[in-house]
């Protein structure tokens, strides 16, 4: 028989290998869990990598308080089923100061996501954090190592990355420094969906089309998920059959009109799509180099 693994098998084996290296070498690892489809795949791979033991690290969610309500419900159910500890962290100072996605734009992202993440990592003393980012998402991501070194201030230095040879990962850090680890680096959006299909991985229902209240803003459908949504004069929510390709803070996440209500239909729609998935994220549109800047500041 042929011993060549299929594309998905090869990706799965690589991700499991990466996770086991971290479990063996990090003092205090954590898995960043953002509740999206990539996080769902990452969690599934972690369960596989360590079975029959549970994954030897907690899950952590950076909660801006502006996530879709369905995401939070899904998060709590998933962590409980995996038998893993779930840490939810919110930047309370930022919340108290009133930072919100309507008034503060990129500052909101910096305070409630980047700063919150740094605070949470420092508070718990994590020296290694898994993230579900993929190299096909964005150009600066394509340049990042699987094991990405961060200074004591959590900064990424893209011009000075450690060489990463074979499957030998150097995750040695001094006190205060840390590693971000991206086990899905070599997966594409298509791979993620194919794996969800193959493994029947549960995902947040918002990925499936449904009638939801939305308003049109800057050419994007924004869902009115709760009463905090600020409506401009003349804006009236209407019911549309929509779904999401990525999930984040609801006022910043654009939906697409769709009737795809099964995994197969989603995949078919994605194959025919002519825009990339990050097109739906308002924060990524500010400048094509904005992701790199955010990562230098400590963003995932």
Nearest distance in Å: CB 158, another protein: 5
Nearer to another protein, 61 or 245 (CB): 245
Nearer to another protein, 122 or 269 (CB): 269
- Residue tagged 């952590």 (tokens): 60
Distance, CA of 78 to CA of 194 (rounded, Å): 20
Torsion, Cα 139 18 118 54, to 10 degrees, reads 140
Nearest distance in Å: CB 141, another protein: 8
Distance, CA of 110 to CA of 97 (rounded, Å): 14
Nearer to another protein, 181 or 224 (CB): 181
Nearest distance in Å: CB 258, another protein: 15
- Spatial CB neighbours of 252, under 8 Å, sequence gap ≥ 6: 66, 101, 281, 282, 283
DSSP 156: -
Nearest distance in Å: CB 208, another protein: 15
Backbone dihedral region of 113: left (phi > 0), alpha (psi from -120 to 50 degrees) or beta? alpha
Nearer to another protein, 138 or 225 (CB): 138
Nearest distance in Å: CB 100, another protein: 27
Measured CA distances, 252 to 37, 60, 222 (Å): 18, 22, 7
Distance, CA of 108 to CA of 112 (rounded, Å): 6
Structure tokens at 138: 């964005």
Nearer to another protein, 38 or 191 (CB): 191
Nearest distance in Å: CB 81, another protein: 14
Nearer to another protein, 13 or 87 (CB): 13
Nearest distance in Å: CB 176, another protein: 12
Structure tokens at 49: 């990598």
Distance, CA of 29 to CA of 169 (rounded, Å): 15
Structure tokens at 199: 């493994």
Nearer to another protein, 165 or 232 (CB): 165
- Spatial CB neighbours of 171, under 8 Å, sequence gap ≥ 6: 21, 22, 25, 26, 128, 147, 179, 181
């Amino acid at each position: 028989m042929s011993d060549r693994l299929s594309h998905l098998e090869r990706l799965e084996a690589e991700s499991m290998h990466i996770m086991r290296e971290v479990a063996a070498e990090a003092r205090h690892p954590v898995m960043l869990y953002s509740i999206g489809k990539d996080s769902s795949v990452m969690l599934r791979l972690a369960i596989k990598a360590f079975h029959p033991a549970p994954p030897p690290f907690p899950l952590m969610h950076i909660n801006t308080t502006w996530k879709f309500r369905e995401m939070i419900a899904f998060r709590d159910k998933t962590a409980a089923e995996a038998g893993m500890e779930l840490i939810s962290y919110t930047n309370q100072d930022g919340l108290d100061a009133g930072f919100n996605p309507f008034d503060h734009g990129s500052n909101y992202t910096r305070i409630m996501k980047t700063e919150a993440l740094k605070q949470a990592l420092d508070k718990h003393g994590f020296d290694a954090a898994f993230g579900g980012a993929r190299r096909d998402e964005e150009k600066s991501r394509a340049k990042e190592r699987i094991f990405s070194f961060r200074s004591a201030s959590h900064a990424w230095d893209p011009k000075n990355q450690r060489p990463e040879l074979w499957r030998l990962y150097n995750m040695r850090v001094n006190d205060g420094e840390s590693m971000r680890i991206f086990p899905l680096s070599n997966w594409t959006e298509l791979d993620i969906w194919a794996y969800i299909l193959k493994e029947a991985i549960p995902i947040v229902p918002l990925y499936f089309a449904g009638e939801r209240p939305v308003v049109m803003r800057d050419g994007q459908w924004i869902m009115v998920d709760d009463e905090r949504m600020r409506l401009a004069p003349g804006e009236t929510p209407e019911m549309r059959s929509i779904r999401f390709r990525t999930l984040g803070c609801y006022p910043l996440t654009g939906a697409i009109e769709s009737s795809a209500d099964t995994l197969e239909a989603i995949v078919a729609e994605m194959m025919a799509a002519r825009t990339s998935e990050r097109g739906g994220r308002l924060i990524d549109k500010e400048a094509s180099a904005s992701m790199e800047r955010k990562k230098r500041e400590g963003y995932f």
